[in-house]
């Protein structure tokens, strides 16, 4: 087990729906809350039996003292089972895992682009470190986070919804290009997390305008500690493991 990581059983303090898409799960742990960086993740054994068999990875959403918050959506069997857990139910959780986002970006403006499961780590990042823009892409207004969930974010928060029911209509990448065209693109540093097609489009725009950045490249993670080799990412240095070499990679290092 990597240094500074633990595997412990915790009791759920809260597990509730916060909008039409996300659930928020909260627990308390001294070890799982220590020295956590935005972009790191946890591996959760949802049941002690074999259903579901594998642990599921979840990004840190917020850490306040010993209190840890996770924001997730139902994407399959594991998260469906998790959504039915109640207060005081127990979960076995391993973490903190992986490499987080870069916190030091010099004098550049931090521009975050989030979508889907990529929203939690970027909200965490915007709360921890000075950020200029947080762009969030969703399908509709039903997926927009309540304002109290973003009250600690000092950045300008802009939404793009595919159906136009909230914020700008269209893809979040269109909103991104609109912003970078109005300033010196090289003055930005982009950090992104979300669906792969979205991140690929973000990186394409970054390449077009000569912008540096990094993305949290999510792959299916079975073990979370680099043993199973199931989460390989193609980089310019060859195949690397998302769970230990990432999940955050620099744009320039990804193929």
Q: How far apart, in whole angstroms, are the C-alpha atoms of residue 93 and residue 109?
A: 35
Q: What is the pTM of this model?
A: 0.94
Structural domains of the chain, ranges and CATH numbers in brackets: 6-97 (2.40.30.10), 109-216 (3.40.50.80)
Query: In the prediction, which pLDDT does 57 show?
Result: 93
Pairing of strands 41-45, 56-59: antiparallel
Query: In the prediction, which pLDDT does 1 show?
Result: 44
Q: pLDDT at residue 52 above 90?
A: no
Q: pLDDT at residue 24 above 50?
A: yes
Quick one: average pLDDT of 41-65?
90
**In sequence order, which residues have a C-beta less than 8 Å from that of residue 57 and are 6 or more positions away?**
41, 42, 43, 44, 97, 218, 221, 224, 243
Nearest to 192 by CA among 129, 135, 255, 254: 135
Alpha helices, DSSP H, located in the chain: 77-83, 119-128, 172-180, 196-209
Q: pLDDT at residue 31 above 50?
A: yes
Query: In the prediction, which pLDDT does 243 show?
Result: 94
- The share of the chain scoring above pLDDT 70, in percent, equals 99
Tens of pLDDT, residue by residue over 181-230, are 999 999 999 999 999 999 999 999 999 999 999 999 977 888 899 999 98
Q: For residue 183, which phi and psi values (nearest 5 degrees)?
A: -140, 180
What is the average pLDDT value for the chain, to the nearest integer? 94
Tens of pLDDT, residue by residue over 68-114, are 999 999 999 899 999 999 999 999 999 999 999 999 999 999 999 99
Nearest to 68 by CA among 119, 12, 20: 12
Quick one: average pLDDT of 112-138?
96
Query: In the prediction, which pLDDT does 3 show?
Result: 52
Query: In the prediction, which pLDDT does 2 show?
Result: 47
Where does the pLDDT of residue 47 fall: very low under 50, low under 70, confident under 90, or very high at 90 and above?
Answer: confident
Tens of pLDDT, residue by residue over 148-163, are 999 999 999 999 999 9
Where does the pLDDT of residue 49 fall: very low under 50, low under 70, confident under 90, or very high at 90 and above?
Answer: confident
Q: Rounded to the nearest 5 degrees, what angle is found at the Cα of 102, between the Cα atoms of 100 and 103?
A: 110
Pairing of strands 22-28, 109-115: unpaired
């Amino acid at each position: 087990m990597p240094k500074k990581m633990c595997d412990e059983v915790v009791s759920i303090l809260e597990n509730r729906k916060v909008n039409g898409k996300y659930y928020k799960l909260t627990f308390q742990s001294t070890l799982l809350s220590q020295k956590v960086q935005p972009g790191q993740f946890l591996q959760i054994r949802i049941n002690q039996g074999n259903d579901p068999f594998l642990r599921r990875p979840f990004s840190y959403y917020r850490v306040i003292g010993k209190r840890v918050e996770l924001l997730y959506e139902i994407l399959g069997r594991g998260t469906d089972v998790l959504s039915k857990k109640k207060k005081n139910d127990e979960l076995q959780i391993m973490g903190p895992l992986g490499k987080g986002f870069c916190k030091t970006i010099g004098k550049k403006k931090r521009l975050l682009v989030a979508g889907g499961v990529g929203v939690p780590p970027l909200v965490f990042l915007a709360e921890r470190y000075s950020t200029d823009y947080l762009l969030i892409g969703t399908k509709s207004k039903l997926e927009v986070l309540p304002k109290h969930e973003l009250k600690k974010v000092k950045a300008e928060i802009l939404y793009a919804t595919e159906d136009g029911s909230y914020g700008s209509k269209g893809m979040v990448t269109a909103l991104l290009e609109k912003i970078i065209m109005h300033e010196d693109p090289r003055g930005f540093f982009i950090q992104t997390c979300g669906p792969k097609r979205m991140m690929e489009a973000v990186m394409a725009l970054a390449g077009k305008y000569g912008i540096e950045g990094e993305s949290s490249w999510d792959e299916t993670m079975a073990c979370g500690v680099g043993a199973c080799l199931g989460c390989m990412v193609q980089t310019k240095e060859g195949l690397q493991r998302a769970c230990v070499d990432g999940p955050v990679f620099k744009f320039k290092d990804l193929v």
